């Protein structure tokens, strides 16, 4: 058990890299990945524009609780200087945490619009992994529309959950001076565990896994989930790579769900 946890953590962390190789090597995945990538570009551009435009205000809010260090005598700089440097570094870290959370919110909104495409992408990855015929199945209009509406509905539910938690942490940060020291890292920690929930859910929803069962699934696969979430969070922050974060993480989330299926259900048989 002691050896399996690091192995699962590393395996989860490697999934986005494996997903990238799969995306590049399988032409059938390119079409459903194109729209989410375009929406990611728009979401990232809008978020960066807002962050740059309001960087001063955001930094001021994140550091408003910090004490002002003043040196009365020249020798006081022996501790005032390092103290100022430490507070400045802490302020930058808090601003980075807020910026990371803001980028994730923008991608989450883009996820809502891209959810029908992402569901198709997840289905194709599952078909490839199961060894089924790569030829596209013939679906009627009713089934295609039903699948699209289902993925959109479930993505809206996950978005509401994310916004509720992040909004609550933000409100605490606004109302309680100094709480930014905790709420900033808490947002990052929540995002790391939300990413597997969000991007594996396309596969889990097709198995009719409830939200409570998903939480149990996350809890029973903590190491793999933490590895995937950490890699996913970093992916969203890397310039250029974050344009492809949505399709990349859906492929990786599908692999995560297939390799760590919920204990209460067997993997579905390929049709």
Note the pLDDT tens digit of each residue in 70-111: 777 776 677 777 887 888 888 888 888 778 777 777 877 888
Query: What is the arithmetic mean of pLDDT over 260-265?
Result: 73
The answer on pLDDT for 31 being more than 80 is: yes
- Contact between 188 and 101 under an 8 Å Cβ cutoff? The reply is yes
- What integer best gives the mean pLDDT of the chain? 82
State pTM to two decimals.
Answer: 0.74
Between these two residues, 14 and 95, which has the higher pLDDT value? 14
The answer on pLDDT for 2 being more than 60 is: no
Residue 144: count of CB within 10 angstroms of its CB = 12
The answer on pLDDT for 38 being more than 60 is: yes
Among 259, 152, 158, 166, smallest CA distance to 215 is for 158
Helix 180-206 with 245-259: angle, nearest 10 deg: 70
Q: How far apart are CA 76 and CA 90, in angstroms?
A: 21
Task: Judge residue 89's burial from the number of C-beta atoms within 10 Å of its C-beta, 0-12 exposed, 13-18 middle, 19 or more buried.
Answer: exposed
If residue 33 lies in a helix (H) or strand (E), which one and from where to where?
helix 30-53
Among 148, 151, 129, 152, smallest CA distance to 140 is for 148
Q: So what's the pLDDT on residue 142?
A: 52
Q: So what's the pLDDT on residue 139?
A: 47
Query: What is the arithmetic mean of pLDDT over 35-62?
Result: 86
Query: Would you list the DSSP string of 44-112?
Result: HHHHHHHHHHTHHHHHHHHHTTSPPP--SSGGGHHHHHHHHHHHHHHHHHHHHHHHHHHHHHHHHHHHH
The answer on pLDDT for 270 being more than 70 is: no
List the structure tokens of 101. 């959370």
* 123 backbone dihedrals φ, ψ, rounded to 5°: -65, -40
Among 60, 67, 147, smallest CA distance to 98 is for 60
Q: So what's the pLDDT on residue 127?
A: 92
The answer on pLDDT for 62 being more than 60 is: yes
Q: So what's the pLDDT on residue 6?
A: 66
The answer on pLDDT for 60 being more than 90 is: no
Note the pLDDT tens digit of each residue in 235-253: 888 878 878 888 999 999 9
Q: So what's the pLDDT on residue 5?
A: 65
Q: For the chain, give the number of residues.
A: 271
Between these two residues, 164 and 105, which has the higher pLDDT value? 164
Of the listed ranges 120-129, 143-152, 211-220, 230-239, the least confidently predicted one is 143-152
């Amino acid at each position: 058990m002691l050896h399996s946890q690091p192995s699962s953590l590393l395996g989860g962390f490697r999934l986005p890299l494996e997903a990238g190789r799969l995306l590049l090597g399988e032409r059938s995945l390119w079409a459903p990945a194109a729209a989410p990538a375009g929406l990611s570009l728009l979401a990232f551009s809008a978020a960066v524009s807002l962050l740059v435009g309001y960087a001063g205000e955001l930094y001021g809010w994140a550091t408003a609780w910090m004490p002002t260090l003043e040196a009365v005598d020249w020798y006081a700089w022996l501790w005032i200087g390092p103290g100022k440097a430490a507070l400045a570094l802490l302020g930058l870290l808090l601003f980075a945490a807020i910026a990371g959370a803001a980028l994730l919110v923008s991608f989450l909104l883009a996820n809502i619009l891209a959810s029908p495409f992402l569901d198709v992408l997840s289905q194709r990855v599952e078909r490839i992994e199961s060894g089924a015929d790569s030829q596209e199945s013939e679906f009627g209009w009713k089934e295609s529309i039903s699948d699209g509406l289902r993925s959109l509905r479930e993505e809206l539910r996950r978005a509401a959950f994310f916004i509720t938690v992040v909004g609550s942490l933000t409100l605490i940060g606004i109302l309680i001076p100094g709480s930014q020291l905790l709420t900033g890292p808490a947002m990052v920690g929540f995002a790391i565990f939300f990413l597997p929930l969000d991007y594996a859910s396309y596969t889990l929803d097709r198995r009719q896994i409830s939200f409570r069962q998903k939480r149990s699934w996350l809890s029973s696969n903590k190491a793999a989930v933490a590895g995937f979430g950490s890699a996913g969070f970093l992916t969203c922050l890397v310039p250029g790579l974050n344009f492809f974060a949505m399709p990349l993480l859906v492929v990786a989330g599908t692999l995560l769900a297939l390799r760590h299926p919920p204990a209460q259900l067997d993997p579905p048989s390929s049709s």
